[in-house]
Amino acid sequence: MKIAVIGTGYVGLVTGTCLAETGHRVTCVDLDERKIAKLRGGGIPIYEPGLEELVKRNVRDGRLDFTTSTAEAARDVDVAFIAVGTPPGETGEADLSYVLAAAEQIGRAIGRYTVIVNKSTVPVGSADRVADVVAKVTKIPFDVVSNPEFLKEGAAIDDFMRPDRIVVGVNSERAKGVMAELYAPFVRTEQPILFMDRRSSELTKYAANAMLATRISFMNDVAALCERVGADVDHVRRGMGSDKRIGYPFLFPGVGFGGSCFPKDVRALMTMARAVGLDFDLLRSVERVNERQKRTLLEKAQKHFGSLQGLTFAVWGLAFKPKTDDMREAPAITIIEGLLGNGAKVRVHDPVAHEVAAAIFGTRVEFSPDPYAAAAGADALVLVTEWNEFRQPDFDRLKKAMKQPVLFDGRNVWDPRKVREMGFTYQGIGRAARE
């Protein structure tokens, strides 16, 4: 098929590249000329394992191209994906202006029957609005499809190529046939394509992310309770997760969730609910717990040291999760701003997020080339993001490097007994029974 993808952000670039990898001819569109030039040269503007290699190969083999012109990309295509941003407004609702602008440009460009696929995360009813916009500017037959993405940053290629499920909202058999053919290579091992109405498809994305966020906040509340009653959240988590009705995923306590999806989608779902007269009280609590959790390591540090004025803190991990450089609503931002606001000096290290972090903090923090350099002379080390290289550090080297051997483990990746026997002061999340 001939495919256009409007938007070369995280979702658009992964979508376009993976479709090109299966043999389709894909043109991706972005208004940023520098980004397009970089992509044409085989570079990528984001960090995602495996993506750069796929982009280079498909550009080289002529299946993947990039342009700044939607009119050029969408002319005579079979499928046009809309994968532009939907930033939250002041009250949490998703801003559809970029989606609707892309829809109008596609409508003006198409020259034959086209399936227009909304890949952006959008409120319920957005497919109807896209269809209305396109119908005003073209007489060419088209269908609008809702096809939400379920990509995990750091594992996006695998998620696209080997999905748990593909959700597609359609309102015609013709569009259903096109989408079934498009995704056939990705469901050969019996992963399902779930066809449904467009509004159910749109809501599925928000509901799935809100459920995952709820599990995280619930476990963080359990961790807080463990600290107060002298229990160990790791034992509690294993006891819960062994119940097949519950399972283990997203039951790990920590310093809260961030990124481009969970915080935004939780707020958007609450906003949608309010618009139809429903108070989604559960999600309000999920959001409140998450904001509290981002401050928990700062509060532990204040309780341990009293004043933080003049102390030096090493922070390991800046991105909101491993295997990405994404710092949107990352817990590290809240923690570092709190340390700086209390007069501490902060030295940081992250395997890939330094450039992104520099745009946020400027010269207010010191960037270190490796984790041990960050810890040199530090009064405490704060682990925020559980990159693999942080899981088994050389604790002897670490202790010698630090001014005070104090560890705040925001992801419970270290063994409290082991590090205490080595002379460290250790505090984790919800591990009172071990502490």
User: Could you report the per-residue pLDDT of 386-429, keeping only the tens digit for each?
Assistant: 999 999 999 999 999 999 999 999 999 999 999 999 999 999 99
Does a structural domain hold residue 209? no
Query: Do residue 237 and residue 367 come from a single domain?
Result: yes
Q: Show the domain range for 92.
A: 2-196
Does a structural domain hold residue 214? no
The domain boundary residue, chosen from 163, 196, 229: 196
Query: Do residue 348 and residue 231 come from a single domain?
Result: yes
Does a structural domain hold residue 101? yes
For 202-213, what is the mean pLDDT? 96
Tens of pLDDT, residue by residue over 226-237, are 999 999 999 999
For 281-296, what is the mean pLDDT? 96
Cβ proximity of 24 and 35 under 8 Å: no
Query: Do residue 129 and residue 173 come from a single domain?
Result: yes
Query: Do residue 287 and residue 415 come from a single domain?
Result: yes
Q: Is the pLDDT of residue 191 over 80?
A: no
Does a structural domain hold residue 203? no
pLDDT band at 434 (very low <50, low <70, confident <90, very high): low
The C-alpha atoms of residue 92 and residue 214 are separated, in whole angstroms, by 18
Share of the chain above pLDDT 90, in %: 91
Does a structural domain hold residue 245? yes
The C-alpha atoms of residue 97 and residue 86 are separated, in whole angstroms, by 8
Nearest-CA neighbor of 209 among 266, 252, 260, 156?
266
The domain boundary residue, chosen from 196, 227, 247: 196
Range with the poorest average pLDDT among 106-120, 188-202, 279-293, 360-374: 188-202
Residue 435: the pLDDT is: 59
The C-alpha atoms of residue 112 and residue 315 are separated, in whole angstroms, by 55
Q: Is the pLDDT of residue 91 over 80?
A: no
The domain boundary residue, chosen from 141, 164, 196: 196
Query: Do residue 86 and residue 228 come from a single domain?
Result: no
Report the number of distinct structural domains present in the chain: 2
Whole-number average pLDDT of the chain: 94
Would residue 117 be called left, alpha or beta, if left means φ above 0 and alpha means ψ between -120 and 50 degrees? beta
Does a structural domain hold residue 211? no
Query: Do residue 396 and residue 261 come from a single domain?
Result: yes
Q: Is the pLDDT of residue 309 over 70?
A: yes
Query: Do residue 33 and residue 145 come from a single domain?
Result: yes
Tens of pLDDT, residue by residue over 43-66, are 888 899 999 999 999 999 999 999
Does a structural domain hold residue 212? no
Backbone φ and ψ of 384, nearest 5°: -110, -45
Residue 396, exposed/middle/buried by CB under 10 A (0-12, 13-18, 19+)? exposed
Query: Do residue 95 and residue 35 come from a single domain?
Result: yes
Query: Do residue 375 and residue 429 come from a single domain?
Result: yes
Query: Do residue 191 and residue 223 come from a single domain?
Result: no
Q: Is the pLDDT of residue 94 over 90?
A: no
Query: Do residue 269 and residue 412 come from a single domain?
Result: yes
Does a structural domain hold residue 176? yes
Residue 260: the pLDDT is: 84
Q: Is the pLDDT of residue 188 over 80?
A: no
Q: Is the pLDDT of residue 308 over 90?
A: yes
Any idea which residues carry the catalytic annotation?
261
For 267-284, what is the mean pLDDT? 93
- Domain of residue 38, CATH code: 3.40.50.720
For 137-159, what is the mean pLDDT? 95
Query: Do residue 128 and residue 249 come from a single domain?
Result: no
